[in-house]
Structure 1
Amino acid sequence: MAVKEMYEKYLEEISEVSLFQGIERLDIEAMLNCLKPIIGHYKRSDYIVKGGDKYESIGIVLKGSATVSKENAAGNRSVMTLLKQGDIFGEIVAFSSVMTWPATVQAQEACEILFLPRGKIIGDCERMCSWHRIFIQNFLRIISERAILLNKKVEYLTVKGIRAKICAYLLDQSKKIGNKKIVLPLNRNELADFLNVSRPSMSREMGKLRDEGIIDFHLTEFEILDFQALKNSMSE
Structure 2
Amino acid sequence: MFDFQQGGTILQKYLSILRNSPFFKGLADNEILSILHCVNATTISKKRDSYIFRAGDITEVMGIVVSGCVLIIQEDIWGHRNILSKCHAGDFFGEPYAASQRAVLNISVVADEDCEIILLNVKRLLITCPTACEHHQKLIRNLVSVLANKILILNDKITHVGKRTTRDKLLSYLSAESIRHSSLSFDIPFDRQQLADYLCIDRAAMSTEISKLQKEGFIKTNRNHFELQLSIIKKKNYTI
Question: Given the two structures, how large is their TM-score scaled by the length of structure 2?
Answer: 0.91
Runs of 4+ with >3 A deviation:
72-75, 230-235
- Match among 23, 26, 32 for residue 28 of structure 1: 32
Which amino acid in the other structure matches residue 100 of structure 2? S
- Match among 19, 40, 45 for residue 49 of structure 2: 45
Note if 1:106 corresponds to 2:107: no
Structure 1: unaligned runs, 5 residues or longer: none
- Match among 51, 62, 69 for residue 65 of structure 1: 69
Partner residue of 1:171?
A: 175
Partner residue of 2:95?
A: 91
- Alpha-carbon RMSD across the aligned residues, in angstroms, is 1.8
Structure 1 Cα separation of the partners of residues 161 and 217 of structure 2: 26
The structure-2 alpha-carbon separation of the partners of 1:227 and 1:192, relative to structure 1 and needing over 3 Å to count, comes to farther
Maintained 8 Å contact 1:57/1:117? yes
Deviations 1:122-149 (A, max 9, x none): 2221111111010000000001111111
Which amino acid in the other structure matches residue 97 of structure 1? Q
Maintained 8 Å contact 2:46/2:115? yes
Maintained 8 Å contact 2:97/2:104? no
Structure 2: unaligned runs, 5 residues or longer: none
Secondary structure of the corresponding residue to residue 11 of structure 1 = helix
Question: Given the two structures, how large is their TM-score scaled by the length of structure 1?
Answer: 0.93
Structure 1 Cα separation of the partners of residues 99 and 39 of structure 2: 16
Which amino acid in the other structure matches residue 191 of structure 2? N
Which is further off, 183-192 or 98-107? 98-107
Note if 1:193 corresponds to 2:206: no
Secondary structure of the corresponding residue to residue 44 of structure 2 = strand
> Percent identity over the alignment?
29
Equivalent residue pairs, number: 235
Which amino acid in the other structure matches residue 202 of structure 1? M
Deviations 1:44-99 (A, max 9, x none): 11111111122120100000011110024654210111111111101233433343
Partner residue of 1:81?
A: 85
Partner residue of 2:6?
A: 2
